[in-house]
Amino acid sequence: MEAGEMKAGGYSSSARFVLDRNMMPKEALEWAQKATDMDPKFYILHTLALAQAANGMKKEAISTAEKSIVAAKEAGNDAYVKMNNEKIKEWSGK
C-alpha cells in the first residue's frame, strides 16, 4: 500500500496488534490517533485510550474511554461499555 491508502481500521488494527504485545507504544499512539481522526468509532476510540495509557497519558486515556462509552452506548455495544469502564477504573486507581 502506498502512503495515504491505509484506512482507519488498518491503523487501529496495527496499533492494537503492537499494544497487545507491549511493543512500540509511541507508534501505537500515532496510529490510533490517525485512525480516530479518520473514523472515531467506539472501538477505535477504545484503542486510542489503550495507546494513551501505554504512553503514561492516563488522564487523556480516561477522557477518550469516556467518549468511547458514549459512542458504544449509541451503537448498542454493551461489551465496549464494560471494557471501557473497567479500564477507567484501572487507570484512575479505583
Domains of the chain: 8-91 (1.25.40)
How confident is the model at residue 61, as a pLDDT? 98
Grid look-up 469516556 returns 66
Residues of the chain scoring pLDDT < 70:
1-4, 94
Cα–Cα dist 3/60, whole Å: 28
How confident is the model at residue 3, as a pLDDT? 52
